[in-house]
Chain A
């Protein structure tokens, strides 16, 4: 396996993913975990991505003018509970859109193990909020003043957890750093809203989707 240009291929795909191809970010983040010790199966997955790219070289990002809400920054989050088979960590995914086009996206493994799906979603929301705060400031510098950012999440329990200051036996282990979310929600800078899975753009960052949703 030593002669295989695995790292080169993953690096090349990663550059495309970072610039315009958020549709491959989940697949690339999967294969990039095995750089140091790869097997045939990993290389097959990389070849699969290359074949996918082969059929979709013309795809990219599209930004559109929309006078109703399109100019606003909107976020979508999703997580995949225990998406990683080695350390049983969950996968987080978020995407922010501006003018109907995606501007910021990420699909990555969580830094710590989540004990429940709610916790996994909640940790994802935290990551997305950090990004939202930064983007909110950035677009304000560019002259796009927006009162608050909407972040859509398909987990009702994570939303309840963020809005409610109740202490539950099953959530008391969730670290203080994740309660950062509550503070932000309280301040009203970012609104957390329920959103159906079918419309969730971040879905494609956490699992294999059959077609491009955007």
Chain B
């Protein structure tokens, strides 16, 4: 992945690399490490999402269309502690 401020520089670097390595030009980056990249040049925004990965893990753990979504990642009524684990009797 090449990121530079000027397009001319990018083209020059690509040409230089092409002389030494066999390479394939995939144009503008759409995905990196499983993250999707969305760019909006007009608004000047870049968004990173993992929609595909998240859908895959939801499927793997049996969350489907029938599951009701919730609006918070956690709720205060989950008071997690180790004491929820079984104790060894003394």
Contacts and interface: CB of A to CB of B under 8 A. Distances in A.
Contacts of B55: 57
Interface in B28-77: 33-36, 43-51, 53-55, 57-58, 60-61, 63, 67-76
B9 to A, nearest CB: 13
B26 interface: no
B85 A61 contact: no
A44 B78 contact: yes
A60 to B, nearest CB: 3
A45 B74 contact: yes
A60 B67 contact: no
A10 to B, nearest CB: 11
Q: Is the interface of A mostly helix, strand, loop or mixed?
A: helix
A34 B78 CA distance: 13
Contact of B35 (A20, A33, A53): A20
A57 B51 contact: yes
A162 interface: no
Q: Is the interface of B mostly helix, strand, loop or mixed?
A: loop
A30 B48 CA distance: 25
Interface residues of A, number: 51
Contacts of A85: 79-81, 83
Nearest to A12: B57
Nearest to B78: A45
Interface stretch (A133-141, A166-174, A176-184, A206-214): A206-214
A8 B57 CA distance: 10
A211 B54 contact: no
Given A27-B74, A48-B74, A55-B70, A41 B84 contact: yes
Given A20-B49, A48-B74, A63-B47, A33 B80 contact: yes
B58 A48 contact: no
A60 B70 CA distance: 17
B82 interface: yes
A63 B46 contact: yes
Contacts of B43: 64
B60 A12 contact: yes
Contacts of B74: 26-27, 30, 45, 48-49, 208
Given A27-B74, A54-B67, A208-B72, 18 more contacts: A12-B61, A19-B34, A19-B48, A20-B50, A27-B73, A34-B80, A45-B74, A45-B78, A49-B73, A49-B74, A51-B69, A51-B70, A53-B63, A55-B71, A59-B49, A64-B45, A85-B80, A208-B76
18 contacts: A8-B60, A12-B57, A16-B50, A19-B34, A19-B50, A20-B35, A42-B84, A48-B78, A52-B70, A53-B57, A54-B63, A54-B69, A55-B71, A57-B55, A60-B51, A62-B46, A101-B46, A208-B76
Q: Which 5 A-B pairs have the closest CB atoms?
A: A55-B69, A60-B49, A65-B44, A27-B74, A85-B81
